[in-house]
Structure 1
């Protein structure tokens, strides 16, 4: 009996120690920030990882590629490399289900010579920050929030260009990349109050171009910001980011703060003009961003299947953005011919372009 009692005591001690060890591991894990991405290196044949390193002649471009819109991302990439002689390095951010799709799209098409890295975004970092909204569920896709986490993507460059996947670049990307940011500014955006042609388009489709269109000014949290509701907004679908300054100012933490605030207080909604990814950017970068040349972000092409810009104006634009529900790979859409010239058919047949006659 004494021996059995001693064995039981030893077992109790071991169980206590094991419980303490498990508690320690759990607390340590919970104290660590969730990893934003998992990297998957896939470089073009003949290129070296060194091409990704910080150099003056390499332009880093960040673009997301969702499973259902990979073909759109590839059209954007094609338009960029076709209109520059600069060396461009693409950070292609996607979710786990589309990593192989994106890689195969590149390897089996004319894009196989590009320099790139595929990064798998971790949607768990958005837990407690984004709530479901049925009005425009497409705006809640996890990849819409990649732009909030640029310094955490493992990018080795001091600055980078971010572009949405419904963009076509007609100018030389090195001119956009080379913009001089004002001291203390972490990014450059296009103001929503820039070109007369844009104003006409905005009026015709009923788009909002002020903070009132993105924030709920009935909420005290919004009133306390002291931002004039009639002040011009900006579009975060295309921007140049100073990664070093972004990190220094803890921009990502600030953006997450407002995401969490909205999760609790509903201070903005995707039923309003800009969904849930634009309002935090508008708040954090208010009066703290450099303005892009408006021809480097001609937008609203996707807001109406009827409202059109003049062809001469679009020919002179450096970048076209089909923000809105009417995308150029679907029908109905406007100015889709300017997008389709850069489209590369999906070798797997997943991404299909629809046109008025029903042909794909």
Structure 2
């Protein structure tokens, strides 16, 4: 079964720039076929792709849409039998419906849709939604991952507004907001194939907490050096929840996850983490972890357990992520604290 990634987006959104990046250092070692469809004109970007040693199949008879589903299924089967690729990348016309392309691929017995991506120009989102509502909304609502391009060209409030508009159309999609030049092709592919939301990070922290609780109960409260739940210094929080039988962490603790494009400084992050120790209006916070953009251009990674925190520079993520676990966690107060 050949895996298929579909990259939709209006003309000029940055689809081809993205695909170039993924060819350079994302699809490492894979045999690729690119299927382009440029709505009645020769694909202007085929030269670069051919120079990269990638097989190109152009479909210039119009959009991959309902009227062409049968032809496209035949063409896709022929591409697979002729080239036996590891993966096919489809770049449909900017005015095509992503849902039609997905439906066409799903009708091919030898292909499997792995990633559905909509590349959206953050600076033109509102005007395109107004003028091309049917096509534009379809691309957004049919995508598993939405990559916001040109996020560096708009102010924070406009970026927040764009994200809210997208979530109003597709609340389940992963939204990549980090400028693509800050990410590697491999990071982008990993994000498309295995999206991790802030809520996923929070669940991982809960699993760590569950492990540490188990250690508390079954090993005389001794902990390995790798235990990061904060129980070394704050056993009193755990004692509240230790009966004669083991409770799973998700039965005892609250978890909260946020995605954010807000930019921070190391000092502002440290101030936020210190507030957990100073004021229980946020809840009894036992763990916090995050990766957020820095005002100075890099990225900040942080970890927190009661009385101890680590704030450091680190690699970029596809968007800012913050997760917090504890008891009586006040999500609204946390959102205000992190300025989300």
TM-score, normalised by the number of residues in structure 2 = 0.30
Report which structure shows greater RCO (CA 8 Å, sep ≥6).
1
